[in-house]
Amino acid sequence: MKPLLQVLAGHALPRPPVWLMRQAGRYLPEYRELRAKAPNFIEFCLNPEAAAEVTLQPVRRFGMDGAILFADILLIPHALGQPVAFEAGEGPRLEPIRDAAGVAKLSDARAAETLAPVMETVKRVRAGLPAETTLIGFAGAPWTVATYMIEGRGKTDYENCRRMMWSEPKLFAALIDKLVDATAAYLIAQADAGAEALKIFDSWAGAVPATLFDMAVTEPTARIVRAVRARHPSIPIIGLPRGAGSHVAHYAAETGVNAVAIDHMTDIAAVPLPKGVAAQGNLDPMLLMTGGAAMDEEARRIIAAMAGRPFIFNLGHGVLQHTPVEHVGRLIDVVKGRA
């Protein structure tokens, strides 16, 4: 079995497998070159030839144990009919959904057709990957995707989301229900196409008021996990409840994920995960940017702290845009015991 899949099955390996969130992307010159040729980011994600190529770029250069499908969590709102645009240097812009009419307009009637190119990307990547490398498909978790759909952009204080959750819980639940169904169908299609593991990114889980955490994060994720397992009983699923702090162990137990990605704010060795659930993480992406002896030491410290447990080396969040390419190569060498 491939090393990453062994760990996701609950086994501890002498050397942890490694991949990095956002390992494909703007820090790589070969990514920037291809990206510059695409008219816009959504079209780039929905171009199987380009998306398969950028998925493979970091694996070719550095030999990670996992390849993460090149796509974006905002393909789901796009597929449900909500206009999504990426403005250069400004991040995503969506027409915000704030009322029942906005939620009612979302339709999954054409979602499978819109997302079909992603499945073609999955097939191409599977065909082009080294035998030991695992292809990880993914989607955003309903809460994190909803933050963009409600606010209309990233990097906010989630004020409209929190207002809706508290004052119009039925409306919020209706939006989450649509996202659960669309996301489960999307992940099942990725698994049908050849994804070997799946990841559910709840990047903004840390913004949810504690009282509402289960309603917004744990339960929607658990529903997606159950739906995927009904079709693909043995596909491993990684959850990232980023910023969830004290909720992480509860999230792991209640969602039924096989692995939990731990952010860099959390002491990874101290998280009480259920038996057999793997941990993934959690080097600070800033340390990958700054590099040097401090990076090597921290990587070795994390590996030593997780020895004997099912563990996948990764960052606590995505590779930052201005990260020197050499630092990424060095980190992979350190984790693989080549340096």
Site string for ligand 1CP, 293-322 (x = CB under 6 A): -------------------------x----
What is the rounded CA–CA span in Å between residue 335 and residue 324? 17
One-letter amino acid identity for 68?
I
Whether 296 is catalytic is: no
Structure tokens at 173: 């639940």
Q: Is 99 in the active site?
A: no
What is the Cα Rg of the chain in Å?
19
Please select the residue that binds ligand 1CP; options are 63, 154, 256, 285, rule is CB under 6 A. Answer: 154
Site membership for ligand 1CP, residue 35 (CB under 6 A): yes
What's the CA gap between 119 and 124, in Å, rounded?
9
What part of residues 183-212 is at the interface with ligand 1CP (CB under 6 A)? 201, 203
Least distance CB 233 / ligand 1CP (angstroms): 25
- Is 124 among the residues known to form the active site? no
Q: Is 93 in the site for ligand 1CP (CB under 6 A)?
A: no
Among 50, 52, 73, 94, binds ligand 1CP (CB under 6 A): 73
Catalytic-residue membership of 98: no
Asked if 26 is part of the footprint of ligand 1CP (rule: CB under 6 A), the reply reads: yes
Q: What are the backbone dihedrals phi and psi of residue 191, each rounded to the nearest 5 degrees, phi first?
A: -65, -40
Do 323 and 27 form a contact (C-beta atoms < 8 A)?
A: yes
Residue 65 φ then ψ, to 5°: -85, -15
Rounded-to-integer distance, Cα 233 and Cα 135, Å: 17
91 beta partners: 87
The answer to whether residue 202 is catalytic is: no
Active site members: 22, 26, 35, 72, 148
Name the site residues for ligand 1CP (rule: CB under 6 A). 21-26, 35, 41, 68, 70, 72-74, 86, 91-92, 138, 140, 154-155, 201, 203, 318
